[in-house]
Amino acid sequence: MGKLQRSEAEWRAKLNTKQFAVCRRKGTEPPFQGDYWNCKEDGVYLCTCCGEPLFDAQDKFDSGTGWPSFTRPVDTQCLEEKADSSHGMIRTEVLCAHCDAHLGHVFPDGPAPGGLRYCINSVSLQLKPRTG
């Protein structure tokens, strides 16, 4: 599957102001305010921009940071990582591999066994409840 290509005008028409600022402009939502930071519902979290499955609710944990945190993606191929030296620190940015939406960052301070914490903005995600 190739990259989803849309113009800035198309993204602005599809996304609300917060979604556009985070997903297309690499913003960050305030902690403890997004829809999913404390969500306990079961399902799969999809990319807000393109609908690709990114994270499973069963891999979600409370990191205490105020953002949804996951131990792993549903598939390593669904994410891309880039070095991010903005804001005076070195981090690893996480993007949707299908549409290049900024999702958040991954840190090496997560729980065992993998030790990773995918710290993701709620506005970058859409929860699809698990059925059946």
In a domain, 67, yes or no: yes
Marked catalytic residue, from 23, 47, 96, 119: 119
Q: What is the total count of domains within the chain? A: 1
Which whole number is the average pLDDT over 23-34?
95
Print the domain residue range for 106: 8-129
Q: How confident is the model over 67-106, as pLDDT tens digits?
A: 999 999 999 999 999 998 887 888 999 999 999 999 999 9
With respect to residue 2, please indicate whether it lies within any of the assigned structural domains: no
Tell me: pLDDT of 132 over 80: no
pLDDT at 27 (0 to 100): 93
- Within a domain: 30: yes
In this predicted structure, what is the pLDDT of residue 55?
98
Q: Is residue 99 part of a domain?
A: yes
pTM of the predicted model, to two decimals?
0.94
Condensed to tens digits (0 to 9), the pLDDT of residues 99-129 reads 999 999 999 999 998 999 999 999 999 999 9
- Asked if the structure places residue 3 within a domain, the reply is no
* 96 catalytic residue (yes or no): no
% the chain with pLDDT above 70: 98
SS (H, E, C) the chain: CCCCCCCHHHHHHHCCHHHHHHHCCCCCCCCCCCCCCCCCCCEEEEECCCCCEEEEHHHEECCCCCCCEECCCCCHHHEEEEEECHHHCCEEEEEECCCCCEEEEEECCCCCCCCCEEEECHHHEEEEECCC
Model confidence at 33, in pLDDT bands (50, 70, 90)?
Answer: very high
Q: What is the CATH number of the domain that holds 114?
A: 2.170.150.20
pLDDT attached to residue 44 = 98
Classify residue 39: in a domain, yes or no. Answer: yes
